Structure 1
Amino acid sequence: MSAFVTAGAVAGLYGTLWAYFVRLIAPQDFGFTTAIDGLVTAVVGGSTVFIGPVLGSGFLTMVPEVQRAAGIDAGWIRPFLASLLLLVVILFLPGGLASLIPRRVTMAASGEAHADSGHAGLAQRVHPVPGEPVITLRGVDKDYGGVHAVREVDLAVTGSEIVGLIGPNGAGKTTLVNMISGLVPATSGTIEVLGVQPGQTSVHRVAAAGVSRTFQHSKLFPRLSALDNALVGAHLVSRPTFIRRLLWLPSARRDEQQSLQHAARCLDRVGLAEKSAVTASALSYGDQRRLEIARALAADPSLLILDEPAAGMNHVEAQALSTLIASLADDGLTVLLIEHNVGMVMQTCSRIVVLNFGEVIAAGTPEEIADDPAVVEAYLGSAEDEEAR
């Protein structure tokens, strides 16, 4: 929204200055050809980098000058070249001419160099102590018409706990964490997370309270680097630089450098420091899942919700992820984990809650859950069933 409003203001200023300069406004000055020139300028130069439109407009401005210098008077050359260049860029260089500049690679290296140099001035959240309530659910229901996704769920999670949420597909696990994170409101019951009430509070306020999560399906920005993806999650702990960037204030660059260092530390925490300059689409599936965790950690959360983070990982990767989650709890984070890798859940979690058809059928330590007949029948299966399979 800020970018849209600022672009409108710049366009209005341009129109005013144009009228003052030429002393006459004619309809053809703002015709269809002018609109196309603006589109070509943005696409050819690259609209995601500040220097991009400058490169695009510089190219289009040079075309008629070269024509005049060569003594060629053919009005069709400029639109022909613009159209041809637009097609070539869309097919072979989607980021425009500016994407050829390795801008973020240098910043990534700078961020890595300072990955261990303290906290770069970014405020750290005070996490709930062990025993302090983090999540409190009382009689929570979620209905979709005649479908009861969650029924009468009571749940309490305290500081530094790693709580596993398991159950068959369709048991209501993702619906439950969607309510906890504020994405969907509960039909009835009360939810309190880190002092706020999701469903009755805006989602961004729930995040600001200290809730971060990953999703069942990867939601990364595929064209951005790993560092840029992690940087997205840091907006809650970073100072806004938009206005200061427009005014070319040095403090904006300093704050952005601090944010880059913070994002680099989060990448290092999940083992992706050496791949900070790699685009998200070029990472392996396991690395993409870890990158999502790094982005969630960049918001400095007190509660981290992980929705099937080990999906698609092999045994070695799942073991490394289990170690990472345990280390996060040691640092004071509270983790709510949805996972179908039962072995990983049993090894990682201090407590496990089992859902089936939207209801809690068991809750306790991993040992208690493994020996619970209701859980064995509904989800884990017996040894004889495993042998038969």
Structure 2
Amino acid sequence: MTILVTGVAGFIGYHLAERLLREGKQVVGIDNFNDYYDVSLKRSRYARLSAYPDFRGYELDVSGFDGLSAMMESESIDTVVHLAAQAGVRYSLTNPFAYLESNLVGFGNVLEACRRRGVGHLVYASSSSVYGANVKMPFSVHDNVDHPVSLYAATKKANELMAHTYSHLYGLPTTGLRFFTVYGPWGRPDMAYFSFTQKIDAGEPISVFNEGRMLRDFTYIDDIVEGIVRLIGRPPKPDPAWDRERPDPGSSYAPYKVYNIGNNKPVELMTFIRTIEEKLGKKAVIEFKPMQPGDVQATYADIDDLANDVGFRPVTTIDEGIGRFVEWYRAYYKEGAYEEGRAFVYGGRQP
């Protein structure tokens, strides 16, 4: 099996590609290495993947159809895992065109390239942010999600609709994954847990919104990857019980499916911060601030569909996950392990 991973130098893309390569899969990876956050971190991830003989990488932007199409025609790709996107809720408030180009035009290009190439399964990243103004907990894929509260969320909802159209028109099997607050080693510096760790370690104040009264379904990266890997080889089939009079948003008469991948155990933000303090051995200087536009107060994933279909539920506790992240953070930034070509071990295992 040859699997194309878009956004392969990104946080989730890197971890997924490395897992697949270790299992003996052929992986083709593309990334545009944009500067939304530290490009050197992306280059470090990419360099590690390039050491595997079964990895072939391309520096490409999915918003350019010709390059994407030509690459896919040159490779024997069975499955596509599309993780390339412009991330970030707050950034979408000030840079909307980045989201329109990458998340809408780019995703449309991926769909069309998959159709022309006859790809057997497209797995793509959606987001827990699609639940928007919903307050019924836990969030279920069977609930309506027509009230996003950020442009980022709206683009992810649009991706799900676009995928369904291609599943309906062309029989392209598509699986959307609504990720819930992913964290862990090699993570994104723009994420709160990463910046909290940096600032607490440096003795700088951290900004905590909504007085810290936020609940997040923090999900460790290994659990996210395990869910993706189990779904890759399980392209969705049409649901014969799907009822047009009472349409279920989570499935379809077409080969289309959406899953939540979350920890199913929401944690208060202040508890998360206290865990970082404990692992660093330092106290945070906290500046409380009001709720920000585009934010939601709580996320909580109903993962029954994932558990029922592939037999998996996340298992990593916050204590374990933050511990591993802090070990990696210290090794990467404090011990110079970011230097190109230098391998290192943290927590008794290769990251």
Q: Normalised by the size of structure 2, how large is the TM-score?
A: 0.26
User: Which structure has the larger Rg?
Assistant: 1
Give 1 or 2: higher helix fraction.
1
Q: Normalised by the size of structure 1, how large is the TM-score?
A: 0.24
